[in-house]
Amino acid sequence: MKILLKNISFAIGIMFCSMNILCEEADDVDSVSLCDEITIVNPDLYENLNTANFTFIDAEIVDDCLRLEIGASGCDGNTWGFNLVDSGAIAESLPEQRYLRLQLINEEACLAFFEKTVSFDLSPIQIDGSNEIILHIEGLESSLNYKY
């Protein structure tokens, strides 16, 4: 009987340990950003931003990610780099407003036209005490409403 109780206690202990490990792994997945890049808040960079020519094709916000689809000339678009830069200025309105610029870094010297989608984590531009921001992205025809 003692051996049976020891085996049952051991089995229950193993179950609790494995459940704890599974919970920790699930927490780690939630904390990982699902966006490609992080939004940068830098007034100097915003003012002096140089970008290659591009065209906005589509823009949408999904959870805390801003997904931008752009088109530009290049060889295949695989070497393109992106930055989304916030001015640091917050327009005091309801809801508040922020101003951003997209930078395309494109060293490709081909004349073909390619489209590419990139997403940016908007968490760095959230405002304490607020749950909504209007985003003005230079070159994008309409503003976007970011609710968090």
Q: What is the pLDDT of residues 55-69, one digit of tens each?
A: 999 999 999 999 999
Predicted confidence at residue 111, as pLDDT, reads: 92
For residue 12, the SS3 value is helix
The CATH T-level fold of domain 37-147 is Immunoglobulin-like (2.60.40)
Predicted confidence at residue 16, as pLDDT, reads: 46
- Domain limits, the chain: 1-32, 37-147
Nearest Cα to Cα of residue 83 among 105, 58, 111: 105
138-143 average pLDDT score:
97
Please tell me the pTM assigned to this model: 0.77
Q: Is the pLDDT of residue 77 over 90?
A: yes
The sign of the torsion formed by the CA atoms of 56, 54, 41, 48 equals negative
- The residues, any chain, with a CB within 8 Å of residue 104's CB and separated by 6 or more, are 51, 52, 53, 54, 70, 72, 80, 81, 82
The model's pLDDT over 111-135, given as tens digits with 9 standing for 90+, comes to: 999 999 999 999 999 999 999 999 9
